[in-house]
Structures are given as C-alpha cells and as structure tokens.
C-alpha cells in the first residue's frame, strides 16, 4: 500500500510539473503573438464618432490676416474664391468667402457661399441642385477631440442660386453671417496665418 501511495504521489508531482510547463509555453506564445500582431490590433483606430467626415472640398486660405485687414481698411468685401471642383455627385462648383461683410450691412462678419458652375456633364444630373450643404470652419487643433469646428448648414432646395447654370456660373448661395471676426481670432481657427474651410454635401 505504501509503495502504491508513493507511486501516486510521483504521478501527481509529474502532472503538476507538466501543467506548469504548459502554462509557461502558453505565456511565451502569447507574448510572441502580441509582438507580431498588426498595428491596428495593438493600437485600435479612433472610433468613427471621433473621425472627421470626408469633405467634398477642403480649401486653404493663406495670408489670411493681411487679406482681412486689407478688406476692412478698404471697406471692401475682400472676395476670395477657391479653384473649381466637382462634388462627389458630379456637380461643378467652387467656394467663395467675403472676408468683410460690412458693405452689405453686416460689419464684423465673414460670409461664405457655394457657387454652381456650368459643366459639360450637367445634362446627366437632376436639376435644380437640391442637396443640403454644410460649411465647416476648421479649428486647427492637432487633437481632433479638442476641436470646436464651426459649422453652417444651408438648404439649397427652392433657391434660384441652385438652378442649372445658363451662364458660366450662378451667383453664390450661402450666409453673410458665417463667423464673426472676433471669433476667428480665438482658438486655432487661424493658424500659421491660414484658415481652412470645408464643404460637405449630403449624399
């Protein structure tokens, strides 16, 4: 009986040692797997709600401070227009800012407008242009979570500016009171003397 008990203890001891070794092997394999895991697994991507949507156009206005000061000094609109671009739907358009809306009676404001342009593709699309558009003044904080972008939604339906262009371009449709000059000087709306404006057009 004593010999049997000793053999049983030896078997149990061997079993415990095997379990310990197996656990160590598992730890090693997990460490190796983590070291070779894809970066997306080790560093998960930012949740979608923290990502900024893809714009139809992102426009940089350089030398912004000088241009704004000049427009105010001359009591002029200080009109600046972007290069033409095509929306994701195929409509040709461009952006316009009036740096100084004082001549229109809105001193201290910058206006923003969307201009539809004539294109050889116009016959392929429905008219009038009836998509909701969002203008965004970018707060240029590096950390997206810290940004406080300024957005403005315009509804184009029923507005004459968004009929099919008969000439080279239509008059712009937008908002004269897009942002106050005093607001522009806060946060990071102006950074490295540049301003960024985006436009997002609903699907």
Query: For the domain that residue 71 is a member of, what is the CATH number?
Result: 2.60.210.10
CA distance 92 to 72: 31
CA distance 153 to 148: 16
Place of tokens 């139809």: 56
Helices (H) and strands (E) in the chain, counts: 4, 9
In a domain, 47, yes or no: no
In a domain, 45, yes or no: no
Tell me how many domains the chain contains.
Answer: 2
Neighbours of 168 (CB within 10 A): 7
Lowest mean pLDDT, pick from 13-27, 55-69, 121-135, 189-203:
13-27
Residue with the larger pLDDT of the pair 35 and 182: 182
Residues 33 and 61 in one domain: no
The structure tokens listed for 148 are 């406080």
In a domain, 52, yes or no: no
Confidence at residue 17, expressed as pLDDT on a 0 to 100 scale? 55
Per-residue pLDDT of 137-180, as tens digits, reads: 999 999 999 999 999 999 998 899 999 999 999 999 999 999 99
Residues 65 and 157 in one domain: yes
Confidence at residue 53, expressed as pLDDT on a 0 to 100 scale? 78
Structural domain boundaries enclosing 172: 57-201
Residues 66 and 32 in one domain: no
Confidence at residue 84, expressed as pLDDT on a 0 to 100 scale? 98
Per-residue pLDDT of 176-203, as tens digits, reads: 999 999 999 999 999 999 999 999 999 9
Confidence at residue 39, expressed as pLDDT on a 0 to 100 scale? 29
CA 12 to the chain's CA centroid: 63
Confidence at residue 82, expressed as pLDDT on a 0 to 100 scale? 98
């Amino acid at each position: 009986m004593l010999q049997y008990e000793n053999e049983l203890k030896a078997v149990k001891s061997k079993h415990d040692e095997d379990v310990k070794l197996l656990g160590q092997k598992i730890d090693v394999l997990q460490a190796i797997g983590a070291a070779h895991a894809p970066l997306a697994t080790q560093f998960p991507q930012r949740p979608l709600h923290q990502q900024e949507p893809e714009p139809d156009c992102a426009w940089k206005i350089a030398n912004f401070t000088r241009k704004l000061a000049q427009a105010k000094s001359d009591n002029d609109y200080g009109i600046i227009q972007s290069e033409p671009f095509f929306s994701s739907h195929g409509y040709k358009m461009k952006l316009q800012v009036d740096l100084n809306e004082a001549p229109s009676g809105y001193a201290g404001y910058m206006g923003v407008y969307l201009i539809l342009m004539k294109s050889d593709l116009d016959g392929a699309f429905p008219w009038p242009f009836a998509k909701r558009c969002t203008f965004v003044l970018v707060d240029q904080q590096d950390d997206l979570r810290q940004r406080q972008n300024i957005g403005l939604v315009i509804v184009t339906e029923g507005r004459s500016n968004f009929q099919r262009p008969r000439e080279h371009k239509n008059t712009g449709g937008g908002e004269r009171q897009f942002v106050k000059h005093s607001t522009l000087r806060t946060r990071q709306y102006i950074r490295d003397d540049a301003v960024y404006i985006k436009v997002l057009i609903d699907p």
